[in-house]
Structure 1
Amino acid sequence: MDTPDAWEKRLVQICQGSTKEDEKQETFDDVADTLDQAAKESGYTAPQYCSTLLSRYIPDRKANILDFGCGTGLAGEQLHQLGYQHIDGLDCAPKCLQVAENKQIYRRLFCDFFSGQTLNLETDFYDGLICIGGFYPLGLKANCFSEWIRTVQPGGYILNVFRNSYLDTCADYNDGKLEGEMKALESDGKWKLISTEKFEAGRKEWNMILFIHQIL
């Protein structure tokens, strides 16, 4: 069983690892069986915090929710406990998705490695999208925003949370690049920023930043 410190080291390895699709999938699958317990023992609270917050913006428990980068289903579990009945998940790692499927909380699960393509997801279908930890070095880039906007219907909400430090340390995000892409889409009338929040997700080094957008 991975200790919280060992889990942290594995996450660092993921962030510093390969950009190749198959190698990244393999790295995530290597931690699939221990991820949930390690997250619990480390006191990782981002899934609970963000799921509860989403429930304030989308109170309808029959709403269609997409858990983007769902991994083993940590956020999906929280949404399910809050009473959401129609949760879909998307992730690049097959073994992580198998763990998520075994929880029997998702309506549908999609295995896809996002690199800017149009996904096999319905347009204007989801009432909300949640992405926890999808942005990290070698992780998602701003090109996912347009696809998120396509799949979430007007009036719907997108909650995107990741480590605040990555806005400074990640070359794809720093110097205002990531937030600049968000603002450009707002200027284009695609979405509007509702709120930006910072919170600590269980450990001091896990200071998170959360962006909440509404689709226009």
Structure 2
Amino acid sequence: MFLALVVSVPKEFPVDVLGGPRFATEAVLDLFPDDGAVPRGQLKVLDVAAGTGLVGQRDMIGHHRIDVEDNTYDLVVVAGAFGPGHCPLTALDEMIRVCKPGGYIINSMRLEFLFISKDHTGLLDYQKSLEERGLWRRVSHIIFDGYFETVKQGITFVYQKI
């Protein structure tokens, strides 16, 4: 089962300049290889902020409880949602709520937003507080080049819900 909260991408949108979805996908492939114990086709995946964000501007995750039962998804994937004017830090709480215990939350974003986005400069501390509260554990984080237009660095965080 696959659910995307925002799925509209205009034809003229330059998806080839966005590395976030590509790097998030690589993290998924690493966690769930072809010969893995869980076939990818059986995963229940929530793709948060899939697309440009235009569709979800009024109904963004993190501003309220979404209409999804607790512990529903094996995997929650976020690419580009943690930037200026996008998902608030509290969206992580909602992602953890809907992720199954043992499931994964993958967040791929521009590295610079950790330092220049007033909405997200506290993201590292917030993630750590969620870990200290026993809600998830960090599996990895990878810094990479080519997140946006081949010039911006990105970071992909992988957490596992406890």
TM interval, shorter chain, is 0.7 to 0.9
Unaligned 5+ runs, structure 2? 1-5, 34-38
Unaligned 5+ runs, structure 1? 1-24, 73-90, 95-110
Matched, 1:171 2:118: yes
- Determine if contact 1:157/1:215 at 8 Å carries over to the other structure: yes
RMSD of Structure 2 on Structure 1 (CA):
2.3
Choose between structure 1 and 2 for higher RCO, CA contacts under 8 A separated by at least 6 residues: 2
Structure 2 length-normalised TM: 0.81
- Determine if contact 1:125/1:153 at 8 Å carries over to the other structure: yes
Where 1:93 maps in the other structure, the secondary structure is coil
What amino acid sits opposite 1:187 in the alignment?
Answer: E
- Determine if contact 1:123/1:152 at 8 Å carries over to the other structure: yes
Asked which structure has the greater CA Rg, the reply is 1
Deviations 1:127-170 (A, max 9, x none): 00110000111111111111001100000001001110111111
**Higher-strand-fraction structure:** 2
Matches within 5 A, 1:74-85: none
Range 58-67 or range 156-165, more displaced: 58-67
Where 2:27 maps in the other structure, the secondary structure is helix
What amino acid sits opposite 1:212 in the alignment?
Answer: V
Please name the residue that 1:211 is paired with: 157
Please name the residue that 2:132 is paired with: 187
Where 1:171 maps in the other structure, the secondary structure is coil
Cα 1:181/1:56, change in 2 over 3 Å: same
- Determine if contact 1:64/1:128 at 8 Å carries over to the other structure: yes
Range 204-213 or range 188-197, more displaced: 204-213
Cα 1:115/1:213, change in 2 over 3 Å: closer
Matched, 1:114 2:114: no
Please name the residue that 1:93 is paired with: 55
In structure 1, C-alpha distance between the alignment counterparts of 2:153 and 2:51, rounded to whole Å: 20
Structure 1 length-normalised TM: 0.62
How many residues matched? 148
Matches within 5 A, 1:1-216: 32-35=10-13, 38-40=14-16, 42=17, 44-59=18-33, 60-61=39-40, 62-71=42-51, 93=55, 112-174=59-121, 177-201=122-146, 203-216=149-162
Deviations 1:77-108 (A, max 9, x none): xxxxxxxxxxxxxx6607xxxxxxxxxxxxxx
Where 1:201 maps in the other structure, the secondary structure is strand
In structure 1, C-alpha distance between the alignment counterparts of 2:74 and 2:19, rounded to whole Å: 23
